[in-house]
Structure 1
Amino acid sequence: MVNISTEWLQSVEAFKDVPVEQLRWLAENSEPKTLLPGDFMFKTGEPLNATYILISGKLRLYYMQNNDPVEITVMEAGTISGYLPFSRGMTATIYSEAMVESQLMCFPIEKIDVMIHTQFELTQALVHVMTNRVREYTTMMRQNEKMMALGKLSAGLAHELNNPAAAIVRGASSLRKHLQLMPDTFQEVMSIKMTPEDVTFVKDKMFAILKSTDRPKLTMMERGAKEDDMVNWLDDHDVANGVEIAENFVEFGITIDILEEFKSHMSPNSLSAVLNWIDKNLVTERMVLDIEEASARIVKLVGSVKTFTHMDQSHDKRLTDIHDGIRNTLNIMEYKLRKGHVQLIENYDTSLPPVSIMIGEMNQVWTNLIDNAVDAMQGRENSTLEIKTEKDGTCVKVSIIDNGPGIPENIQSRIFDPFFTTKEIGKGTGLGLDISCQIVKQHHGNIKVNSVPGKTLFSVLIPIH
């Protein structure tokens, strides 16, 4: 063990203004410790029973995330770690592992109280170390929390964008192949001799069907029965491709009575060609609608992301409808809700007045609360998430309610504390609710929790004025 002199201790940045006699007292009341490569100064969950000063060697500090170590920093000679005066943290939240053989000076926690009452400058120096450590660690963990949230967001968004994008590719390919078949149908139709009045009837009737939005909502049994009846009618009238035509016609609300109307305006030999031509137009319409819906879904998602992050606006408060941010957040998180088989209940008071908020920051609050609720219900049957808005005095009140197992009563008072989490190591940083609480306080609002088994309710109150 290296003999620690007061001169060496004065060379440590944190101790440069501490009187020599107090540094001598620190050295006399400390114990030596040697760590070999791979030894731990402390591990996550272990009690912190000393203040450690690294004399020589190197130690790496890290935490586990998804079973992988995430390095925080490397301790060099002169670094102070472990328990510090007035710290509330009595257990380690990270790992400290020796990279090479390292020498430590250990000041036992039992002597902290004596030091506080007799060694003022030394205590002051160590408190300053603690405040710097908390500031740096909090900054790093907040950044990590944001990166974890961004990772969840990007994963869900990629999945949500992939579905409509794939639908567009499939639809465009099918439409191209379908259009290649149109010339044959066109040739058959052009060979038919019909009066101008009959042509006008067929044209007007077909476009009326295409424009109609009143499509029947049928059960599988009802649809099957109607298709069978139509196939029989088509077969009786020698119409080719009866099964395919019946499927499309039933979907567009065409009935046998409408087929009888078509039949009355053409000769029996013309009926098959005309109905197949109408079918081809209906199929084209359906493919175009599918592509349109998929494209609209992508536009909606991109718009939701833009509004969610508020990337084109300043971060000042703006008057806005509180529901816009909630709906955009739900659009972004739709994949996670669907994956967790969560039933969503939206109970909004749409008469609420606009509130002045930092939109992007409040979206982060909705994201944290909804994400926690979905995680809490993971693996439960009949998971239900309710989001309710209402006026509460001079505030807008947003309630997020889940039917998960609830938060144990003995930890409810701690859930807003920084770094406190009930999730597994690597699943969370314990900053989501702390960040949410800080954001709500910036808006002069309040966030509360009420939880019993089967119902957890988070309430966010934002002043209207």
Structure 2
Amino acid sequence: MLEQLRQFPAFATIPDEQLQWLVDNGEEKHIDAGTVLAKPGESIDQLVLLLDGRIVIDTGQNGPDDDIVTYEPHSIMGVLPYSRMTSTPNRMLVEKTSHILQVHRDKLRDMACLHYELTEVLVQQMTNRVRSFTRYTQQEDKMASLGRLSAGLAHELNNPVAAIVRSAETMKAHLRATPDAFKQIMHLQLPDEKVDTVNELLFKKLDQKAPQLSLLERSSREDDLADWLDDYGADTGSLDLVGPLIDFNFTTDDLNWMLDQVGPDNIGGVTNWVVNNLVTQSLVRDISDASERIGTLVGSIKNYTHMDRGAGKTTVDLGEGIRSTLTLLDHKVKGSNVSVRLNLADDLPVVCGWPGELNQVWTNLIDNAVDAMPDGGELTISSEVEHHSDGLTFVLTKIADTGTGIPDDIRDSIFDPFFTTKEIGKGTGLGLDIVQGIVSHHNGSIKVDSQPGHTEFSVCLPVG
């Protein structure tokens, strides 16, 4: 047994008498493959030295990718000196028949007093474990955030892309009718000055915004324009003339003015030509708006990830990060029938930090707030400057929702690792623990105030 312990890389410099202490105070076991050493939530009270075999820590879902950590021979696991571990959040499974030596936690107190070198090595193992666990949880939370954002981003991109495809197909069909309109115009005998006056009216209307009409007002204007076009023999069968005229704020007064300029013999052809241009402009405008929406989404994801910047500490515009996060979560916000009030001060100073980490804070807090309002509600995000008596300046950001609130009996636990109130599969249990860690990393603080109908998280970050 002593020779087997000597094969552990961590024990390479440990004196023989200290390793012999492990042998004398430990219990040797052979465990068959498939044995569950510990289920999630079960107590852990043994230091485990894996002499041979393989043990994995997994999520307990029995999926192909649910392994978290794999321990090979000469690995150290379980309780370590000065560790506060009392239970495991995950399952410990023997994947390959294993030979272990385990030492009860009560024995570790004696070891800490008697064997300095051995204790030092095991404490170093605990430090490495904490560091690895922190990296893992941060990566898990980033992946969970990415999954939520990807789903919403795919939906948000699908809408403008579909609009562009639809408008392009409509324009292709519309352009096939252009030769007929051109023939009508070629048969008209109009002086240049008359053509110019009609062009001026057309471009004036093209530059105007669409009128905000009620359903009743639009119906009334449709009737008036349809009657006018029928009276003057405009061809309304091959092309919808009324709709485009209303969309660009044409009235019967505008048509009467055109009639005075071109005369009754030419009004039909001129009207068709005008509407043809209006339809083309409308389709171009739809394509432009959809393209702009795609550009906004791409810009938001670029700002969110800050992929054009280095990974180091830099100046951060909190308002930009919050707006980008809201854009990427817009699908979820709208899908939950949640309204958003954004009150960001215009003179917010920049803070010094890691943009990607801070955007992860806003993602978790906003996502949790929306989840707290499944039947709709109001999300309020505000940010302001605070000057403290010690001369330091802070930016205080508050994210509040009108959900059911956080019960008193769990409020002290919400920042614990893996704690979640969501159903299985709907929460990582990592979010608020990661949020608190990131805020502390930025020398800030986070507080929560909650009662039914109002939950508010306050994030205070120093300037400079």
Q: What is the TM-score with the length of structure 1 in the denominator?
A: 0.88
Q: Contact 1:64–1:425 (CA<8 Å) still a contact in 2?
A: no
CA shift for structure 1 position 289: 0.3
Match of 1:44 in 2: 40
Give the SS at the match of 2:249.
Answer: coil
Which of 378, 381, 384 is the equivalent residue of 1:384?
A: 378
- Provide closer, same or farther for how the CA distance between residues 96 and 305 of structure 1 changes in structure 2, counting only shifts above 3 A: same
Superposition pairs of residues 17-32 of structure 1, within 5 angstroms: 17-32=13-28
Superposition pairs of residues 132-211 of structure 1, within 5 angstroms: 132-211=128-207
Say whether residues 1:236 and 2:236 are aligned partners.
no
Give the SS at the match of 2:240.
Answer: helix
Q: How far apart are the structure 1 equivalents of 2:15 and 2:336?
A: 60
Match of 1:130 in 2: 126
CA shift for structure 1 position 133: 1.8
Superposition pairs of residues 84-123 of structure 1, within 5 angstroms: 84-117=80-113, 120-123=116-119
Q: How far apart are the structure 2 equivalents of 1:54 and 1:294?
A: 59
Q: Contact 1:66–1:427 (CA<8 Å) still a contact in 2?
A: no
Q: Percent identity?
A: 43
Q: How far apart are the structure 2 equivalents of 1:451 and 1:388?
A: 17
Unaligned runs of 5+ in 1: none
Q: Which moved more, 1:174-183 or 1:447-456?
A: 447-456
Match of 1:278 in 2: 274
Task: Please tell me the residue identity of whatever aligns with 1:261.
Answer: W
Q: How far apart are the structure 2 equivalents of 1:32 and 1:313?
A: 54
CA shift for structure 1 position 113: 4.3
Give the SS at the match of 1:240.
Answer: coil
Q: How far apart are the structure 2 equivalents of 1:98 and 1:66?
A: 13
Say whether residues 1:303 and 2:299 are aligned partners.
yes
Q: Contact 1:64–1:426 (CA<8 Å) still a contact in 2?
A: no
Q: How far apart are the structure 2 equivalents of 1:56 and 1:258?
A: 91
Q: How far apart are the structure 2 equivalents of 1:318 and 1:10?
A: 47
Deviations 1:25-53 (A, max 9, x none): 43344334443222111122222132222
Say whether residues 1:227 and 2:226 are aligned partners.
no
Tell me how many residue pairs correspond in the alignment.
458
Q: How far apart are the structure 1 equivalents of 2:113 and 2:241?
A: 92
Give the SS at the match of 1:370.
Answer: helix
Match of 1:464 in 2: 463
Task: Please tell me the residue identity of whatever aligns with 1:453.
Answer: P
Task: Please tell me the residue identity of whatever aligns with 1:78.
Answer: H
Task: Please tell me the residue identity of whatever aligns with 1:397.
Answer: L
- Provide closer, same or farther for how the CA distance between residues 327 and 63 of structure 1 changes in structure 2, counting only shifts above 3 A: same
Q: How far apart are the structure 2 equivalents of 1:17 and 1:376?
A: 54
CA shift for structure 1 position 437: 3.1
CA shift for structure 1 position 197: 4.1
CA shift for structure 1 position 421: 4.0
Task: Please tell me the residue identity of whatever aligns with 2:378.
Answer: T
Deviations 1:326-359 (A, max 9, x none): 1122122222222333211111221334444443
CA shift for structure 1 position 247: 1.4
Q: Contact 1:66–1:425 (CA<8 Å) still a contact in 2?
A: no
Q: Contact 1:342–1:384 (CA<8 Å) still a contact in 2?
A: yes
Match of 2:400 in 1: 401
Task: Please tell me the residue identity of whatever aligns with 1:446.
Answer: S
- Provide closer, same or farther for how the CA distance between residues 78 and 321 of structure 1 changes in structure 2, counting only shifts above 3 A: closer
What RMSD in Å do the two structures reach over aligned CA positions? 2.8
Match of 2:438 in 1: 439
CA shift for structure 1 position 111: 4.3
Give the SS at the match of 2:86.
Answer: coil
- Provide closer, same or farther for how the CA distance between residues 376 and 56 of structure 1 changes in structure 2, counting only shifts above 3 A: same
Task: Please tell me the residue identity of whatever aligns with 1:51.
Answer: L
Q: Contact 2:52–2:98 (CA<8 Å) still a contact in 1?
A: yes
Deviations 1:134-159 (A, max 9, x none): 22222233223223323333333233
Q: How far apart are the structure 2 equivalents of 1:29 and 1:357?
A: 49
CA shift for structure 1 position 278: 1.0
Task: Please tell me the residue identity of whatever aligns with 2:461.
Answer: I
Deviations 1:401-443 (A, max 9, x none): 1222323334433433444444455555544334433433344
Say whether residues 1:62 and 2:55 are aligned partners.
no
Q: Contact 1:58–1:99 (CA<8 Å) still a contact in 2?
A: yes
Q: Contact 2:341–2:381 (CA<8 Å) still a contact in 1?
A: yes
Q: What is the TM-score with the length of structure 2 in the denominator?
A: 0.88
Q: Contact 1:67–1:426 (CA<8 Å) still a contact in 2?
A: no
Give the SS at the match of 1:459.
Answer: strand
Q: How far apart are the structure 2 equivalents of 1:357 and 1:30?
A: 48
Q: How far apart are the structure 2 equivalents of 1:455 and 1:11?
A: 58
Q: Contact 2:4–2:51 (CA<8 Å) still a contact in 1?
A: no
Task: Please tell me the residue identity of whatever aligns with 1:329.
Answer: T
Q: How far apart are the structure 2 equivalents of 1:104 and 1:79?
A: 10
Unaligned runs of 5+ in 2: 388-392
Q: How far apart are the structure 1 equivalents of 2:61 and 2:301?
A: 26
Which of 260, 264, 267 is the equivalent residue of 2:263?
A: 267
Q: How far apart are the structure 2 equivalents of 1:416 and 1:169?
A: 46
CA shift for structure 1 position 182: 0.7
Q: Which moved more, 1:301-310 or 1:8-17?
A: 8-17
Q: Which moved more, 1:14-23 or 1:259-268?
A: 14-23
- Provide closer, same or farther for how the CA distance between residues 419 and 121 of structure 1 changes in structure 2, counting only shifts above 3 A: farther
Give the SS at the match of 1:92.
Answer: coil
- Provide closer, same or farther for how the CA distance between residues 97 and 64 of structure 1 changes in structure 2, counting only shifts above 3 A: closer
- Provide closer, same or farther for how the CA distance between residues 157 and 96 of structure 1 changes in structure 2, counting only shifts above 3 A: same
Q: How far apart are the structure 2 equivalents of 1:442 and 1:27?
A: 42
